[in-house]
Amino acid sequence: MEQGERPAAAAPEEPEESGFALIPLQENLYSTACYAILPLSERALTEEEFLQLAEGMDGISPKELLTPKYSRTGLEEDAACLRQNRALFRGEKLRFDTLQPEYLYAERRPSADLWENARNGNAPCFVKLPGNSGAPVFSILPTEQMDDEQLLQYIDAQLYGVDPQTYLPLSGEIAYGELPQHLQREIAAYGLGDGTLPEYNAVLSTSPDGSRTPDQESWAVTLCFPEEDQYVVTLDAQTGALKSWIRWPAGTFTSEVVPESAESLEASPRTEEELEAATKGYLEQAVPGDWDISEVKIQENAFYSEGFGASRSVDIALADGRKYRLGVSEQDLTVLNFIVEKA
């Protein structure tokens, strides 16, 4: 490169026009001084662009260059990383799950402007992509974990150009601030955790195609008990009635350490009679009403639940049309999930 052909001009620092750019970075923040946007999945680089790439990334081998650390090529196997150079660390993901609903529903925003931050030397760095790239923004994240301010900017970039009306509750749906009263009621009714309302994060689940159908929308709420089991609870967006809950091992949302799996425990699987009795007992306590059972079906194949080992699904149908599915551990008859099936 020192004695060979040189590019006619410096490489562009913005990829919007051509899809190609070399983004200068602070090496102490990103562990590299330059990041390349390479539209290899869309078109071939020109000879001039190859020279600009060689000059800007001199000393980096071709094998290294085609990795998320140095470039976005559209060739990464993990589709979740196509909008960024690395996946979130576990600690970042835990805090992201707490900050996201505050951003979406409580108007919490980063203090710095998104695009000013991208060019003032602070991490993370955000790059506007061409319109045909499938994503409006690419995020170049720092080597170290991001703090809350940086994560808020990251969320801001993810939602760049998204109309807030696509994720805010509709008229007639439960507002974010109204969730505590509904959650407290369902926690008590279904015996979740220790019965108190813990810290939680909530996201309104809307239709995948962006259309809004209130009778199909739900609030998905992760209850973050500090020491007990964790639950993901689904509430009807209009009534607040519980549609399902899923139980997870203690510490899933509060610790970097995943608890030891119960699969290693030495215990004989419970009989189908015991599984049926456990699910009926829970259901009779949690769901009031006339208990005229028309059918009980235990699924033949077990499913594996991390922290609780092998488990079985039990379907219970009542004569009045109500249907429920419960998952119960074969080890100790722990009820792991509860789903209200549509009649």
DSSP secondary structure, 275-309, as one string: HHHHHHHHHHHHS-S---EEEEEE-SS-EEETTTE
Count the alpha carbons within 13 Å of 315 in the hemisphere toward its beta carbon.
Answer: 11
Give pLDDT tens digits along the chain (343 positions).
456 788 999 999 999 888 899 999 999 999 999 999 998 777 899 999 999 999 999 999 989 998 889 998 766 555 555 688 888 998 898 899 889 999 999 999 998 887 776 667 788 999 988 877 777 889 999 999 999 999 999 999 989 888 888 889 999 999 999 999 999 999 999 999 888 999 898 999 887 666 788 888 999 999 988 776 789 999 999 999 999 999 987 666 655 554 444 444 455 678 999 999 999 999 988 988 778 889 999 998 888 877 788 899 999 999 888 999 999 999 889 899 999 987 6
- The answer to whether the beta carbons of residues 283 and 324 sit under 8 Å apart is yes
Residue bearing tokens 């009306």? 165
d(CA 256, CA 90): 7
d(CA 198, CA 218): 20
- The answer to whether the beta carbons of residues 234 and 244 sit under 8 Å apart is yes
CA 220 remoteness from chain centre: 12
How deeply is 112 buried, as exposed, middle or buried, from its count of CB atoms within 10 A (0-12, 13-18, 19+)?
A: middle
Q: List CB contacts of 288: < 8 A, sequence separation 6 or more.
A: none
- The answer to whether the beta carbons of residues 184 and 197 sit under 8 Å apart is yes
Helical residues (DSSP H) of the chain, grouped into ranges: 27-30, 47-56, 62-65, 90-105, 114-119, 148-158, 179-190, 272-286
Cα-based torsion angle of the residue sequence 147, 148, 154, 157 in order, rounded to the nearest 10 degrees: -140
d(CA 145, CA 270): 44
* pTM of the model as a whole: 0.77
